[in-house]
Structure 1
Amino acid sequence: MTDEELADMRGGFLTAGGVVFDFGAIVRTYVGGALALETRLTWTPTGPVTAQVTGDLPGWTPLVPGQVGGLNLTGVPDGANGLVLTDANGSTALIHNVMNGQLQNMVLNAANGRDIRQEMQVMLTLPNFEAMQRDYSLDRLGSQIGQDLNWGSIQGYGR
């Protein structure tokens, strides 16, 4: 089968050992206890899909690389998204980067008096994980019994 045909038959990742798993992440930043920025990453058969939600905080503008309100945002990774607030307290940039194999939740802050909290939730789903664990435990038990029998045979010859 071609790679394209295989891609249509499965979602998530396929590891070298043949274990299929799904991956997703939610990155959140709160300011003053209110959600300011949330980015969701879901891995699909066609690749990563992201969705971003901004909170209802007044005065925030979309992130634009460059110099903003005393913050140097020129090094922001390509594909990163976020918000910037510049007011009488100073400037704060909230940046989420969930592309290019990275999960980043960054705050660049030159403001006073901001209560900022960051969260990152990573989900890894292993279908049939309980069955895999049970099979592994049975394999280990069988191996241990085999080793015990071999060891018992070796000791029995020496008596």
Structure 2
Amino acid sequence: MDSFSLTVCVSVGYWIWLCLRPVKIVAVNQENNYSDVLVRSFPPTDKGKIDWWLKNKDILKEKYDIPKSSSSGYFTVVFWDFGDGYKEEGKYDRLCFDDMNTKVNCIEKDAVFSVDKSRNMDITFTVYDDDNYRLGQNGDIIKIESD
């Protein structure tokens, strides 16, 4: 096998591993109808992220009571890459969780996915690479075209 073929095989194998590794939920923080979920090994593709949500939304509700809707039915769930773990606030613009009784209660702001329910768009998915999707009435995933 030549080096190019070996490189291609290793790259494909690594991509498959990235897509198939299980998502680890490190912590869930809740404030009103906003939920912050700290994760490791979140799916790398738009489809993988949306499919993971659709497959696991009932488990998230049972285990973590998210999403938690406002009285009008709206909610936001943001999935954050846990990265190198908790840090002190130190650096500008870290996301900190005041309910933790420690100085090491912040993460880098690296959102990987969010799910919102709003009046105008029903359920929308944001994947943070400039693409947004919505859940159609018949369960189809529809890409929202930018203006």
| TM-score grouping bracket, smaller chain normalisation | under 0.3
Tell me: higher relative CO, structure 1 or 2? Use CA pairs within 8 A at least 6 residues apart: 1
TM-score between the two structures when normalised by the length of structure 2: 0.25
Per the normalisation by structure 1, the TM-score is 0.24
Structure with the higher strand share, 1 or 2: 1
